[in-house]
Amino acid sequence: MAAVARAIDPVSTFNHAEQLLEKQRDNEAFGLYFELRDSSRMAPLSYYRMGEILNRTGQIEESIDCHRKAFELDPHLARGLTTNDHPCHDYRYHFVEQTHTTQCPMCGEQGRKHSCYNAITKPDFTPGFDPIRVWMHCDACHHIFAANYPTDLIGALRQHNHGSHLSPRHEVFPALGRVLSNIRTLAPGNRLLEIGAGAGEMAAVAAEFLFDVVGIDIRPAYANAVAERLKIPVHACDFLDYQADDTFDVICMGDVLEHTTEPVRMLLKSISLLNPGGVLWISTPNFESAFSRVQHDASPLWRACEHLNYFCYRSLQAMLQTMGVAVVDYAISRHCLGTMEITCIRE
pLDDT in tens, 84-129: 999 999 999 998 899 999 999 999 999 999 999 999 999 999 989 9
> 103: which DSSP letter?
B
Nearest to 340 by CA among 303, 307, 304, 314: 314
Phi and psi dihedrals of 117, rounded to 5? -140, 155
pLDDT of residue 5: 47
**Burial 14-26, CB ≥16 within 10 A → b, else e:** beebeebbeeeeb
Cα 179 to Cα 312: distance, rounded to the nearest angstrom:
20
Residue 163 has pLDDT above 90, yes or no: no
pLDDT digits (tens, 9 = 90+) for 60-81: 999 999 999 999 999 999 999 9
Cα dist from 267 to 9, 45, 95, 323, whole Å = 56, 41, 33, 8
User: pLDDT tens digits for 314-331?
Assistant: 999 999 999 999 999 999
* DSSP type of residue 289: S
CA–CA distance from 125 to each of 12, 182, 304, 305 (Å)?
A: 31, 34, 7, 6
**Is a pLDDT exceeding 60 seen at residue 4?**
no
- Hey, is 88 helix, strand or coil? coil
pLDDT-derived band of residue 6, with 50, 70 and 90 as boundaries? Answer: low
- List, edge to edge, every strand of the sheet that includes 309-310: 112-118, 132-138, 143-146, 309-310
pLDDT of residue 3: 46
Domain boundaries, the chain: 10-74, 85-160, 164-346
- Looking at residue 300, the DSSP 8-state letter turns out to be G
Q: What is the pLDDT of residue 325?
A: 96
Report the pLDDT averaged over residues 267-286: 98
- Comparing CA positions, the residue from 330, 315, 335 lying closest to residue 137 is 315
Q: What is the pLDDT of residue 231?
A: 97
Spatial separation of the C-alpha atoms in residues 81 and 93, rounded to whole Å: 13
Q: Report the b/e string of 67-79 with b at 16+ CB within 10 A.
A: bbbbbebbeebbb
Local structure of 26: helix, strand or coil: helix
The three-state secondary structure class of 340 is strand
Contact 214, 232 (CB under 8 A): yes
| Alpha helices (runs of H) in 74-172, residue ranges in sequence order | 78-81, 153-158
Class of domain 10-74: mainly alpha
Give SS3 for 209.
Answer: coil
Under the banding of pLDDT at 50, 70 and 90, the label for residue 8 is: confident
Alpha-carbon radius of gyration of the chain: 23
Fold of 164-346: Rossmann fold (3.40.50)
pLDDT in tens, 27-47: 999 999 999 999 999 999 999
- Predicted local distance difference test score (pLDDT) of residue 37: 94
Residue 175 has pLDDT above 60, yes or no: yes
